[in-house]
Chains A and B, each alone.
Chain A
């Protein structure tokens, strides 16, 4: 198999090929490294490349697989990490001058789990600084660019994860999501990402943005690949106070059972037209996606979008208060070490009161009830992955996102599992995601609906012209 055929394999395909000995973990790793070396100058998706470590891990995986020690479907698969996952002895920067040369003395729980599953680490990926603000234009590392059009943003904050996967630099990646940071770059880069239920995946060793809203999760190029990765990541961790001590199901069980009779709630009314409203071309893609779901046997049910719309206010209030609390000392001592975008956003939290924060947490409880009550009449919610196609860097208005509905925030506030997958393309050949949201701890339902949509469409097979 040549490089071109290898670098866009799905994890499931690569795992099968490794076991048939069509190629080796070393060949997969070398393929990814060659591609990164030849193309990442355009995208800036990697901050730190761990080529030597990766090749060493690949040789070990090869020996283990040859000797019959099989750690499962991720064994020998090259992956990369958003640069806020602590990696022992490997620089972890959060894309910031504040942590430019930080070498953690520990691994995040999720990093250990991926190592135990036999993955190969290619490196650490660019992001929005400290997972907040916008593309980092004054950070020590360049802003990540969208492989579909490098003049456009890849979405954030897990920008490098989205771009690297779309570019065929790795087979899976980790992102994190506090207000949409896994799902937005997944939508903008034409890949798949799931924000699992709050508590499903450990946050231990993930640099926090907002403790009560942060979620860790996988990103990949197919729904099945995300399910494979989540299987390795999920589970109780006593190191994480928010970790849920609940059973982890097999996320692929029932994934191929179809969606006949499924009730899909669409909270369009009182939400999609908020302020500037959803971009019309994005809404057209979403409406077409709903037709596909209907053709697969689902029933579309209109539900009230008001509580979903209000969720943004609570989410943002909680987020800036918690983020400021975490960064307060550094902001007092060396404020200019932060890039201007993230500094201004976090500083908003300095000027809110304890009562503001607690009111937002009370509103969270109220909205949580109102949003979850919809599950009495529907099985899942469907919403767009983002309100508009990825903006061009030039002329980008950082405040515009506050003027459009946030289709991701409500599911951080409620902790519900939400997956974004390629839903279609807008004008200019830019991807648009479809988001499916299920009841708490029902990630398997997200995977079942997403898989059905993926298999019924061709969007996930498109590749950017790099």
Chain B
């Protein structure tokens, strides 16, 4: 399970990402971020070590498109 965020954590993370957000905005954002992180953590239960991501680079397609 992902670590539960506090407002202070969120503020530090936002600064590190170059986001200048007022405190009240961060406060309103906190609930949604906690939900999003919890949801992302739950997805880890669903995949096995050998499962690959759905999105894959397609060299043939890129070559074909380059030629068109």
Chain A contacts to B: CB under 8 angstroms:
212, 238, 241, 245, 310, 313-314, 316-317, 320, 331-332, 335, 340, 344-345, 347-353, 356, 358-368, 402
Contact = CB atoms under 8 A, between A and B. Distances in A.
Contacts of A356: 37, 40-41, 43
A364 B46 CA distance: 10
B51 A362 contact: yes
B7 interface: no
A347 B36 CA distance: 10
B11 to A, nearest CB: 11
Contacts, number: 101
Interface residues of B, number: 36
Interface of B: 5, 10, 13-14, 17-21, 25, 28-29, 32-33, 35-37, 39-44, 46-48, 51-55, 61-62, 64-65, 68
Contacts of A367: 46
Contacts of A362: 43, 47, 51-54
A317 B40 contact: yes
B33 A348 contact: yes
A400 B36 CA distance: 15
Given A351-B5, A364-B53, A335 B21 contact: yes
A365 B51 contact: yes
Contacts of B44: 359
Nearest to A312: B39
A367 B64 CA distance: 30
20 contacts: A313-B40, A314-B43, A317-B39, A320-B36, A335-B20, A344-B28, A345-B32, A347-B33, A348-B29, A348-B36, A350-B19, A351-B10, A351-B14, A351-B17, A351-B33, A356-B37, A356-B43, A363-B43, A363-B46, A402-B35
A393 B42 CA distance: 32
Contacts of A331: 19
Contact of B54 (A245, A332, A361): A361
A349 B14 CA distance: 11
B41 to A, nearest CB: 8
A314 B51 CA distance: 14
Given A241-B61, A360-B40, A368 B54 contact: yes
Given A238-B68, A345-B32, A361-B53, A366 B47 contact: yes
Contact of A351 (B13, B42, B54, B68): B13
A299 B2 CA distance: 44
Contacts of B10: 351
B16 to A, nearest CB: 10
A27 to B, nearest CB: 41
Nearest to B32: A348
Contact of A350 (B17, B39, B41, B51): B17
B36 A365 contact: no
Contacts of B33: 347-348, 351
Given A313-B43, A344-B29, A348-B36, 14 more contacts: A310-B46, A313-B42, A316-B39, A317-B39, A317-B40, A332-B18, A335-B19, A335-B20, A344-B28, A347-B19, A347-B33, A348-B29, A349-B36, A362-B43
A365 B48 CA distance: 11
A327 to B, nearest CB: 11
Nearest to A398: B32
Nearest to A361: B53
Contact of B65 (A238, A310, A316, A351): A238
